[in-house]
Structure formats: C-alpha cells, structure tokens
Amino acid sequence: MKYYSTNKKAPLATLHEAVVKGLAPDRGLYIPEVIKPLPQSFFEHIEDMSFQEIAFEVAKSFFGEDVEENALKKIVYDTLSFDVPAVKVEDNIYALELFHGPTLAFKDVGARFMARLLQYFVRQEGKEEVNVLVATSGDTGSAVANGFLGVDGIHVYVLYPKGKVSKIQESQFTTLGQNITALEVDGVFDDCQALVKSAFMDKDLNAHMKLTSANSINVARFLPQAFYYFYAYAQMKKKGLADNLVVCVPSGNFGNICAGLFGWKAGLPIKRFIAANNANDIFYNYLKTGEYHPQPSKQTLANAMDVGDPSNFARIYDLFGGSHKAITDLISGATYSDDNIRTTLRDCYERTGYVLDPHGACGYQALKDGLQPGETGVFLETAHPAKFKEKVDAILGTDIAIPERLAAFMRGQKQMTEMPNDFQAFKQFLMKQ
C-alpha cells in the first residue's frame, strides 16, 4: 500500500517510510491510497469475535500488504492486551471505556502499536538503534514512553517542561528507566517542541544517530485507533443496539475521530459521528460556516483537547474530497465551556452514579443534546477520571479511588536529566549517547 501526502507535493511513500518520517516532506499528513472495504461476512459474525480477532482482520485490511501476517498478528495482540468495554451509563447511552491500558488513556493503543511496528521495520533494516524524540505537555509523553518501554532497538527521549506537568503525568514517564530517558527542560512546552524540531533539522545529529518522532500525526499512531470502533460496533450488535449507532468522540487534534472515519470508509456501519469539543471550537465553526480558521488554543478543564489548529483536519478534509456537505452529512459538532463540563459531571454522577472525566463529559453531553429518537449513542471515554482526580473530586465532592496501576507509577523513583532551554546543550547531550 502506498501513502500520499495531504499536501500532494511529496512523492508517494511506503508504510515503512511513512512511519519513520511521520510528517511528509511537504509537511502534509500521510493517507493510505486505498481503503479496502471489509467483506460483508465479517460484519455478519463480528459480535462473536474477540477484540483481538476483530482488530487483526481490520489490521490485515490496512497493513496486510506491508507487514508479514504472523508479525502483524503479534503486533496487534501485543497492543490490545486490555479490554475496551462498552458500559451502559443510562438508557441509549454507552461509554466505550478506552482507559484500561498502561497509562489509563486511549493514546496507549496507538503508542504501543507504533512502537511494535517501528521495531518491525527497524529489525528489517539491520542493527542500528532508532531514537524517538517526543516533546510533551503531559499525556503524549506518558503514552509514548509506556508504549515503547522495553521495545529493543528503540530509545525514547521525552522532553517535558519543568514544573508544568502534573505529578501523576510526570510519574508515568520519569519512573520507567530502561530505554526511556526523561529530560526536564527549563522552559515551557513550546520550548520542548522547538528543541525537538531543531534536532530533526541538525546535520551533525542526524549523521550521529537515527532520529524519528512519535507524535499523533504518524499513521502508525492514528490508524490503529480504528480497531476499537469496530469492537464498539460488535459489542452494541451483541446487545441488539447497533442499527442506528451514533458515535461521539471528544476531540482535540482529531486523530481519534479520524481513525473512526477511516473505519467507516472501510464499511463500518455507524450511522453518524459527533465531534465534541471543549471551548476550542474551530471544527465546530467549520461545520457551521464551511470556513476553517485556526485560533490560539484556550486552556480548559479538558486540557488534552486544548488545540487551536487540529492537525488531523487535513486528513478529514481530504477523506471527503474537501466537500463541506459530505462532511456535515456524516459529522455534527458540539462545544462546551468549563461551566458546562462541571454541570455535566455533576448531573451525570447524581443521576446515574457514573464518574466521567472532563474529556468524556463533552462526549456524553453531546449525546444528551444531539441523540434523536431511535438512535443509540456511544461516546468514547478517553481517559480514566483518576487521571484528573483533583479536578474531578473538587467538582463532585468525591474521593475517587486511584487504580493500582497509577498508584504504582506514583510510588516509583523519579529519574530525569535536567536540561537548560538551549539547543547546543541538548545537542551535546545527544551527541554523547
């Protein structure tokens, strides 16, 4: 399968090249040239298949031309070592809980899949180690670090801003050791990002070591997220509730919903999608007006969705041939302020006992507001509420339990290297590795 760039000015790439490069040379995002429809027989029996079995069928359709079948099966089964159950919150509304993985958020799926796929390609090339540089404001660093943990042949450097990352998040990438190095930068997130970008452009560094990125624009991170949309459908079909299925996705960079849309293109029978936003309403306004105007991001309670220029918009736009009508026929939008999020958390908890996290709250509320008679809604619960314990407890007056996996991170020994906000210092550090 060849991959083209959304900017259409770069040569076609193989999957191997697209995964190693991340961004295309014309700064566009890679998209598979063909999305093969899955056979009808697959959907007829999907409710009797396990998550891993379903995902393997979908993976063969997306990646089967480029990855040897047994290796692909191993990658899929290793990635999906945890369940993503569809849990009933109230009549007609289900939460697809994507937070039972290592760092309790959905990014674990794409991060682990990418780690194993990159390892597969690195092994084909020979012995040289690959180095992943990732700048993080919190969640991406923890998902990538845990996804790549113990994957031989790959070393990960996580750059994070000193004092700007929550203790819970920090513990998830500073306590790991092995092939994960945490670098505490004396600066803000944008400084970390700038250091990483400069490293990718530096001739000496690139001659010294093989560098790659692991951000969410990488096809190997976003596309595997399609797996759980198929599994959500299977679970709802088993309950006899799959006929008019609406899937609602709390969205920031739009990688998650984009994966669902690729699943839909491959034949997944979802009736329509809702993109739920916090106060960052750029996509919402695009749906309303047909015009896309990036904005500086606004800080909200659902901070993993604080994105003012969602990178995967380019993929969605391309997938529908740039047609505003085609996009609005399938996708509607919603936008919620922090006050809305607080009210939703309280209302849902008081009526149903279900504890939402601030991101999932946007998804839940969008279904409450937008579901039509006869439809069943599934919203993606993108993170465990304990990841945002302070906020959630303050809003609900609760003391929610911290899952053992999270508590174990917090007990770990913090190991990190302090790094001034200075490219020469960062470069010297890497040149010594």
Ligand X SMILES: *Cc1c(COP(=O)(O)O)cnc(C)c1O
Active site residues: 107
277 binds ligand X (CB under 6 A): no
Find the binder of ligand X among 22, 28, 224, 255 (CB under 6 A): 255
Q: Total binding residues for ligand X by CB under 6 A?
A: 15
Q: What x-and-dash track marks residues 123-142 binding ligand X by CB under 6 A?
A: ----------------x---
> Per CB under 6 A, which region of 170-178, 249-257, 315-323, 345-353 contacts ligand X?
249-257
End-to-end CA distance of the chain: 35
Q: Is the CB of 205 or the CB of 302 nearer to ligand X? A: 302
> Per CB under 6 A, which region of 2-10, 196-204, 245-253, 315-323 contacts ligand X?
245-253
> Per CB under 6 A, which region of 12-20, 54-62, 64-72, 251-259 contacts ligand X?
251-259
> Per CB under 6 A, which region of 207-215, 247-255, 367-375, 422-430 contacts ligand X?
247-255
Q: Is the CB of 89 or the CB of 307 nearer to ligand X? A: 307
Window 196 to 215, contacts with ligand X (CB under 6 A): none
Q: What x-and-dash track marks residues 356-395 binding ligand X by CB under 6 A?
A: ---x----------------------xx------------
Q: Is the CB of 13 or the CB of 383 nearer to ligand X? A: 383
State the minimum distance, in angstroms, from the CB of residue 380 to ligand X: 8
Q: Is the CB of 304 or the CB of 314 nearer to ligand X? A: 304
253 binds ligand X (CB under 6 A): yes
State the minimum distance, in angstroms, from the CB of residue 254 to ligand X: 5
What residues are paired with 212 via a beta bridge?
132
112 binds ligand X (CB under 6 A): no
Find the binder of ligand X among 75, 105, 241, 266 (CB under 6 A): 105
Q: Is the CB of 44 or the CB of 190 nearer to ligand X? A: 190
Q: What is the 3-state secondary structure (H, E, C) of the chain?
A: CCEEECCCCCCCECHHHHHHHCECCCCCEEEECCCCCCCHHHHHCHHHCCHHHHHHHHHHHHHCCCCCHHHHHHHHHHHCCCCCCEEEEECCEEEEECCCCCCCECHHHHHHHHHHHHHHHHHHHCCCCEEEEEECCCHHHHHHHHHHCCCCCEEEEEEEECCCCCHHHHHHHHCCCCCEEEEEECCCHHHHHHHHHHHHHCHHHHHHCEEEECCCCCHHHHHHHHHHHHHHHHHHHHCCCCCCEEEEEECCCCHHHHHHHHHHHCCCCCCEEEEEECCCCHHHHHHHHCCCCCCCCCCCCCHHHCCCCCCCHHHHHHHCCCCHHHHHHHEEEEECCHHHHHHHHHHHHHHHCCCCCHHHHHHHHHHHHHCCCCCEEEEEECECHHHHHHHHHHHHCCCCCCCHHHHHHHHCCCCCEEECCCHHHHHHHHHCC
Q: Is the CB of 56 or the CB of 99 nearer to ligand X? A: 99
Window 330 to 349, contacts with ligand X (CB under 6 A): none
Find the binder of ligand X among 102, 252, 260, 385 (CB under 6 A): 252
Q: What does residue 407 show for φ and ψ, rounded to 5 degrees?
A: -60, -40
> Per CB under 6 A, which region of 75-83, 123-131, 202-210, 253-261 contacts ligand X?
253-261
Q: For residues 183 and 35, what is the distance between their CA atoms, to the nearest angstrom?
A: 39
Find the binder of ligand X among 142, 181, 251, 297 (CB under 6 A): 251
Q: For residues 101 and 81, what is the distance between their CA atoms, to the nearest angstrom?
A: 8
256 binds ligand X (CB under 6 A): yes
Q: Is the CB of 130 or the CB of 356 nearer to ligand X? A: 356
Contacting residues toward ligand X, per CB under 6 A: 105, 107, 139, 250-256, 304-305, 359, 382-383
